[in-house]
Amino acid sequence: MNNFHSTAFFVKHPFRIEDLKVPHRHDMRKRFTVVKTIELSKIDYDNFVADLCVDRTFIEENKGFCHINEDGVWLCLLVKQRGQPDGVLVMPDGSDYPKYAAYYPGEEDEQ
């Protein structure tokens, strides 16, 4: 089992994907692990990233997997467009929308 955890900068209550692509201090990044990847069609993904404040069925159905573990690692969902490497890390924190979210550039930094 790989104990390597990536890090990401999570934004509280983001509105659009552009809100996740902001400059930030490196020490504000959180360790995370993807517990489930949700792949959407292009139109559904475009709709999702254009309005991150809307309740989503796929988040409601999977939010039970998401929490911060005893080591401080954020167990979150990865929502991405089918066939694309990048996406949005979602920590619903009990909500049906991304209460916290981070931009995920892809897997190029993983071993």
**pLDDT 10s digits, 28-83:** 999 999 999 999 999 999 999 999 999 999 999 999 999 999 999 999 999 999 99
pLDDT of residue 106: 87
Average pLDDT over residues 8-25: 94
pLDDT of residue 68: 96
Whether residue 102 has pLDDT greater than 80: yes
**Phi, psi (rounded to 5 degrees) for 7:** -125, 155
Q: CA–CA distance from 10 to each of 14, 25, 42, 90 (Å)?
A: 9, 12, 23, 9
**pLDDT 10s digits, 2-15:** 445 699 999 999 99
* Structural domain spans, the chain: 6-104
Pair of tokens at residue 73: 């690692």
